[in-house]
Structure 1
Amino acid sequence: MMSIYKLALTLLWACGGLAIAAEPSRISVHTLAGGKEVARLMLPIGPQYSVQVDANQVEQDNRSTTHARGNVRVTIRAGGVTTATVAGEEIIIKRKVLDTRELAAIRALEAMGAPGKRDAARDRKELARLKTIVASHGWPGARFAGPELAQNAFTVLMRLPPSEMEALLPALREAQAQNDVPGAQLAQAEDRLRVAKGLPQRYGTQLAAGKPVVIEDEGALDIRRKMMGLPPMPTSSGQ
């Protein structure tokens, strides 16, 4: 029975992979335990994928969602090469075709990470693009863009002057509250802004001459860092 599911879904998702080239899609693989999501894999947007599923039970909804249960093994290939394998007792695979605005946002985020000359003109263009993305979609975290493109957005944020950074921080805070961006990113942005304003930082992420800039309530520093997913400070700040 498992081999039948494997064959059927290999063919179906191979066809879906061909469609992805014409209709850029966001594919995500959600691993569940006890009915709750415990892990999520976001595939980069662009490559043509085939997704092969072995499972005891498989349900599929309009070729956009596959729900597999019992000894599930999901094998993801791009260009015939296996790029990831996910196993579990319950896995959901989702595919969403991007609309025009979503695709434009993804392409803008890709451009932010492109190599090349960096100057004031490029910084202004990237700021404008980031503002447009945030206004339309909220902060582009992992759920929207995947980890790599989300990192591109964060890198642009950290280059901004304080006033521009402060305007975008509420969106970053909201995304972090939804576990869509790492706490470490929010900690760095908060500290960068506080230091720029002449205030003590809260998480010890900003350094000067190899040492952290003045830290607020240093006795509780490691507690705050732990809440943001940061390790304890390796050495005393010396403040």
Structure 2
Amino acid sequence: MTGINNVGQNGLSYIDQLKSLQEANKTEKTTGGKNELKQEDFLSLLTKQLSQQDPFKPVENDQMIAQMASFATVDGIGKMNTQFDSLNSSMTSNQALQASSLVGRDVLVPGAKGLKEADKGMAAMVKLPQAINNLMVRVENEQGQLIRTLDVGAKPAGDTRVEWDGKDDKGNAMPAGRYNIKAAGVLDGENKEFGVSTYANVNSVLLGKGDGNVLLNLAGFASPIKLAEVLEVGKA
């Protein structure tokens, strides 16, 4: 069995001819032609190389086998990529179907700003790194003005749910809109602020832009968030 010569009658090495074929493929892709190199392309190049080889300088058999193995590897990678794309599409569709059940429900998402609906209050979750004796919560409007101060008291380490009834310090009901929840307390002798997450209602579900992400449109949020960012699913 003889192999292929490194240089054909056209003066180009095998690698150069392969690069030439790839460049031609890129051109066809931009002009609406085929958009990928297939195994048939490599076999066509191999056949041409065999017909042009120098019979007095054949390549060793092990080199021929290595080249054929390379063809099989390229084809296998192409098929694997296609399978991964199909799997990704299937998983995204399945996630979207599951996420559709969240429409109309409240979800907990990172961020201290939340939407207060008319005649309702707001709920948030405060993450405490350790137990605290004097957790204080401030409710501010979008302009940063203090609306209400809540003395939550002693709480253990972990997640602590806090609720605001939607009224100011004087008992007046506040209008619907976005409000900011801040939590702080004395920890190790210093006054520190803690991370806060708020609840929001899911309006609709969107598929990502081909990146496999499922997005949620939330009431009061200017842009959607990823389903993966949801920390907790609340009541409907």
TM-score above 0.5, yes or no? no
TM-score by length of 2: 0.22
Compare relative contact order (CA 8 Å, sep 6+) and give the higher one, 1 or 2: 2
Question: Rg larger in 1 or in 2?
Answer: 2
More helix by share: 1
